[in-house]
Amino acid sequence: MSDETNRPSREQAKLEQRSFLMLLVLVTLLFLFLLKPFWGAIFWACIIGLLFYPLNRRFLRSWGQRPSLAALATLVVCVVICIVPAMFVLGSFLQEGAGLYQQLQSGDLDLGNRIERIREAFPAVQLLLERLNLDLNNVKEQLSGAALTASGYIAQNAVQFGQGILQYFVSLGLMLYMAFFMLRDGDRLVALLVRALPLGDEREHLLFVKFAEVTRATIKGNLVVAVVQGTLGGIIFWALGIPGAFLWGVVMTLLSLVPVVGAGLIWVPVAIYLFAVGEWGQGLILVGFGAGVIGLVDNILRPILVGRDTKLPDYIVLLSTLGGFVLFGMNGFVVGPLIAALFVAFWGIFIRDFNAPQTAIPKNDSAADGQRSNYE
């Protein structure tokens, strides 16, 4: 009799548990969808919390465990060294982009004529295009149209930036507001997540550590490399008297966020043009500086700052960064490598805890040995 009464109660308990879990998932998805308009602000607030966590801890130790004051001081430092310079660069970039658009529209800057001068100076370019079944006139029209479209987009955004300045500052304020709580309550939030997630405390701590490592390495490494390359590129353009040095410096900074591709997409065509118009001295200086200084920065700093800390192969970093740009826009240079690192971490945990014996991993595979050592 007791077994018959216990069986319905157990079934009822299972039904209640499954129903609760289904509703929990549904409510969580609805809440995440509700926050969708603010994902960018929340994401960068988390980034600020991770990057400035060590500074916040120093303030806490110095001021006797006053978390609100320490978080506020950390936020002020973040605004001074990150937000204010970024706003200045953005404003100057939009201003120069609008000027370039006006020059292209008025005909003061004729890209077609400059491409024609390259063809005259280097007949091999014409032969190469003919072998590829490309018409130089179409190439000139496409490049001119692309430049006009890009500069027009920048000019349009400059107007929209001015018109939507209130919305921009609202988003910025929301990000800083969220960052304050990430700095003040970060430890508590992580402990709450560790308690809530049903993955096992050891695995959860490992994943959170990996998340923090990759985020810091990607932000610090990629941004440092990009800013250094863009600054060097802008300086050499300014020294050689190339118009729009600041604009091209910012463009090189953005392109430098993508591994391998980098700033060469800008300074190489400019060097070719300098050779084509007979400016051999300036062209040689730009090639030497671009290959020997700008390129060296990428080859030396990026593996040290990004690859070493993320423990990801270079090709994984490249593919995940490009995929992140395609799917998430500018945020992708962080989100892409982060997803790749979590992918590697999850599979590392799975191999360690659930699957293959050690003999299944090839002994002569250095990449496998490196990944295995990370989780042993």
Q: What is the pLDDT of residue 370?
A: 44
Q: How many of the other CB atoms lie within 10 Å of CB of 127?
A: 10
81 occurs within a structural domain: yes
Which tokens is 311 given? Answer: 């423990």
| Shared domain check, 308 and 235 | yes
The pTM (predicted TM-score) of the whole model is 0.66
Judge whether residue 373 has pLDDT over 50: no
| Burial status of residue 93 (CB atoms within 10 A of its CB: 0-12, 13-18, 19 or more) | buried
| Shared domain check, 80 and 18 | no
| Shared domain check, 341 and 321 | yes
Rounded Cα distance, 202 and 206, in Å: 6
Model confidence pLDDT, tens digit, residues 256-313: 877 666 778 788 888 887 887 778 888 888 888 888 888 777 777 766 666 565 667 7
39 occurs within a structural domain: no
| Shared domain check, 336 and 290 | yes
| Shared domain check, 325 and 273 | yes
7 occurs within a structural domain: yes
158 occurs within a structural domain: yes
| Shared domain check, 350 and 217 | yes
Residue 84, classed as helix, strand or coil, is helix
110 occurs within a structural domain: yes
Model confidence pLDDT, tens digit, residues 199-238: 777 888 888 888 887 788 778 777 888 888 888 888 988 8
| Burial status of residue 10 (CB atoms within 10 A of its CB: 0-12, 13-18, 19 or more) | exposed
Count of structural domains within the chain: 3
Q: Which domain holds residue 342?
A: 200-376
Contact 69, 63 (CB under 8 A): yes
Is the model more confident about 17 or about 93?
Answer: 17
pLDDT grade for 137, boundaries at 50, 70 and 90: low
Q: What is the DSSP string of 297-326?
A: HHHHHHIIIIIHHHT--HHHHHHHHHHHHH
217 occurs within a structural domain: yes
| Shared domain check, 164 and 110 | yes
Among residues 175, 196, 217, the one where a domain terminates is 196
| Shared domain check, 109 and 65 | yes
Taking each helix axis as running N to C, give the angle between helix 67-78 and helix 165-196, from 0 to 180 degrees, rounded to the nearest 10: 130
The b/e string for 331-369 (b: 16+ C-beta within 10 A; e otherwise) is bbbbbbbbbbbeebbeebbebbeeeeeeeeeeeeeeeee
| Shared domain check, 345 and 234 | yes
